[in-house]
Structure 1
Amino acid sequence: MSDTPPDRLCASPGSPFFDEALLERGVGVRFKGEERTNVEEYCISEGWVRLAVGKALDRRGRPMAIKVFGPVEVWFKDDAPAA
């Protein structure tokens, strides 16, 4: 596995950008200089994050989210797993 996070990652299993192994490893996201814990999806190259808002759910049972634009920084929270 690479030490650089992917350009785009999503926490929803139905998304083509979902990667369970990377999510288990732990990904930290800093948006506009503030570390965020409610990020559902991000894209570094396009400069946006999708943030969960409150505890509300949509009609499919997923968290309600808004898409916000700004600088995005991403890193792995732990070291690379030993092979």
Structure 2
Amino acid sequence: MSTDAASMATPPDRLAVDPESPYHDEAILQRGVGVRFKGADKTNVEEYCVSEGWVRLTVGNTVDRKGKPMTVKLRGTVEPYFHDQA
């Protein structure tokens, strides 16, 4: 990931919480990223993509057979933001 001024002002187009994902970026996650989906703040986002307009949300405390949280993919307006700029 690039570290120029523009990338530090806005979150990336796609970001994932799962460390095994190619879209995982620990430095950005440490900074604190919030996600507004369809105008409501969501706290259970596992992954999002702004350009494709979807979020992957966890479903309760259920896990799959590999121990990863069960998720549901929803389409709509995605607005990521940094907590320190909110």
TM beyond 0.5: yes
Alignment RMSD:
0.9
2:79 is matched with 73
Name the structure with the higher helix share.
Answer: 2
Please show how residues 1-80 of structure 1 align to structure 2 within 5 Å: 1=3, 2-78=8-84
Give the Cα–Cα distance (whole angstroms) in 2 for the partners of residues 61 and 23 of structure 1. Answer: 21
Runs of 4+ in 1 over 3 A off after TM superposition: none
Structure 2 residue ranges without an equivalent (≥5): none
Q: Percent identity among equivalent residues?
A: 62
Deviations 1:10-46 (A, max 9, x none): 0000000000011110001000110000000000000
The alignment's TM-score, normalised by the length of structure 2, stands at 0.89
Alignment coverage as a number of residue pairs: 79
Q: State the TM-score, normalized to the length of structure 1.
A: 0.92
Instruction: Select between 12-21 and 1-10 the one with higher mean Cα deviation.
Output: 1-10
- What is the DSSP-based 3-state SS (H/G/I as helix, E as strand, rest coil) of the residue aligned with 1:78? helix
Structure 1 gap segments, 5+ residues each: none
